[in-house]
Every structure is written in C-alpha cells, then in structure tokens.
Chain A
Amino acid sequence: EAGVAQSPRYKIIEKRQSVAFWCNPISGHATLYWYQQILGQGPKLLIQFQNNGVVDDSQLPKDRFSAERLKGVDSTLKIQPAKLEDSAVYLCASSRRTDGYTFGSGTRLTVV
C-alpha cells in the first residue's frame, strides 16, 4: 500500500514570499490532517479535513495560512506571506478509523 505522499521535501524561501505544499493521502482515508512541527517541539495540528470538509482549523493562522482539499482526496497548504517563525516541518497525515494514522515524510520549510 502506498503511503502518504508529500511534496516538495524541502523549500527555502525569503520572508514575505508565498509557498504551497501538496499532500496525497492513502487511498480510502477520509480524514486528512496538516501538522506543523517546529524544531524541538511535537507536531501541532493546523487543520483537519473529513472528505473535503473542514472539521477543525482552530489553530490555523488564517491571516496567512490557507488549505483546501478539493474532491476529498489531495490537499494543498499555502502560506502567504511567510514569516521567519513559519520555519518548520509541515506534516500531512491521513487516517481511517480501522487503520489509524499514517504520516507523510513532511516538507521542511526554511524562511530566511
């Protein structure tokens, strides 16, 4: 079974630039999550989708972050404009009750 695919693996941008990350979950997993993991910390949930609807985006900085999951499959997370403190690993995960969580390998963002 293919895992959760994310791209790009690494991204370096200047502050105030825009960036987008892509995630393809495991086939059949209705729930998709984006987590932000800052160095030395545990992952923090940014947004949770159930199919193509948002379940929880309470910790998403909506002034600069946006996410969508069209057709209930792939998802993109965008940051516009980026700040230095956005430097982190952005992890996508998908789940189905019977399977549990699977994380992608993440996108490491550096904002300079």
Chain B
Amino acid sequence: RKEVEQDPGPFNVPEGATVAFNCTYSNSASQSFFWYRQDCRKEPKLLMSVYSSGNEDGRFTAQLNRASQYISLLIRDSKLSDSATYLCVVSNYNTDKLIFGTGTRLQVFP
C-alpha cells in the first residue's frame, strides 16, 4: 500500500466550479501535512499547510481528519490558472522527509 494515496484524475471542471480533492495516508505517525501545486514541467511549490483545525487561504480550504487519516483540498470559484497537478504531502516532524502522493491533475476549462 502506498504511504500517500490520491485519485490521479484528471478532474475537468468549468471556470467558477467548486472542486474537491481527497487524499489518504497510511502512517499514523505523520505529523505535518501539505498541499503542493505542480505546473507542467515545473517544480512543486507549496500551496498551503494543512492544520487539524482546518485552514483557508482565499479560494482554497484544506481539512485534516487524523482519525480517518484523510486530507482534503477544496477549491472554490475555479480559475483557468488553477489548472495544475495538486500533490498531497505528509511528513514526520522528526525526519523532515516529505512523502508525496501521485498527484491529482486539475484542468479548468472556459
């Protein structure tokens, strides 16, 4: 079983739509959680950290459910520029090592 599992998509949505991505992780010792964004042929970049209480950054909302070992990302009012691959990432604080999911590809169309 992979440590971090995501639906690879692609998710094809129209502009203005709301889209949600889910991710599960297998290591209960994981302590830090992130969503990274990766554009085609570019390096991954941190989109947002995910906290137990949930957190929001503009149109983006991240949620963490430790009991179910589940992370989600919600994007509201999708823009064409949101088209990218979204990588779910977990880390154990002691090692600082990031474990990446396969990524979920999002394509927003006009």
Interface residues, chain A, CB within 8 Å of chain B?
A: 31, 33, 40-45, 48, 55-56, 91, 95, 97, 100-101, 103-106, 108
- Determine whether B96 belongs to the interface, using a CB cutoff of 8 Å to chain A: yes
Docked complex Cα distance between A60 and B71 (Å): 28
Within the complex, which residue of B87, B95, B96, B97 is in contact with A42, where a contact is CB–CB below 8 Å? B87
Within the complex, which residue of B4, B96, B102, B103 is in contact with A95, where a contact is CB–CB below 8 Å? B96
User: A104 near B95 (CB under 8 angstroms)?
Assistant: no
- Determine whether B45 belongs to the interface, using a CB cutoff of 8 Å to chain A: yes
When C-beta atoms are compared, the residue in chain A nearest to B49 turns out to be: A100
B8: which A residues are within 8 A, CB to CB?
40
Interface residues, chain B, CB within 8 Å of chain A?
A: 4, 8, 41-46, 87, 95-103
User: B42 near A105 (CB under 8 angstroms)?
Assistant: yes
A44: which B residues are within 8 A, CB to CB?
100
Residue among B46, B95, B98, B100 facing the most chain A CB atoms (10 A cut-off): B98
User: B97 near A103 (CB under 8 angstroms)?
Assistant: no
A31: which B residues are within 8 A, CB to CB?
96
Docked complex Cα distance between A91 and B45 (Å): 12
> Closest CB of chain B to A77's CB: distance in Å?
16
When C-beta atoms are compared, the residue in chain B nearest to A108 turns out to be: B41
> Closest CB of chain A to B103's CB: distance in Å?
5
A105: which B residues are within 8 A, CB to CB?
42-43
A101: which B residues are within 8 A, CB to CB?
46, 98
Q: A45-B99, A103-B43 are in contact. List 14 more A-B contacts (CB 8 A).
A: A31-B96, A33-B97, A40-B102, A43-B100, A48-B97, A55-B97, A56-B95, A91-B44, A97-B96, A101-B46, A103-B45, A105-B42, A106-B43, A108-B41
User: A100 near B87 (CB under 8 angstroms)?
Assistant: no
User: A91 near B102 (CB under 8 angstroms)?
Assistant: no
Docked complex Cα distance between A102 and B60 (Å): 21
Within the complex, which residue of B4, B46, B97, B100 is in contact with A56, where a contact is CB–CB below 8 Å? B97
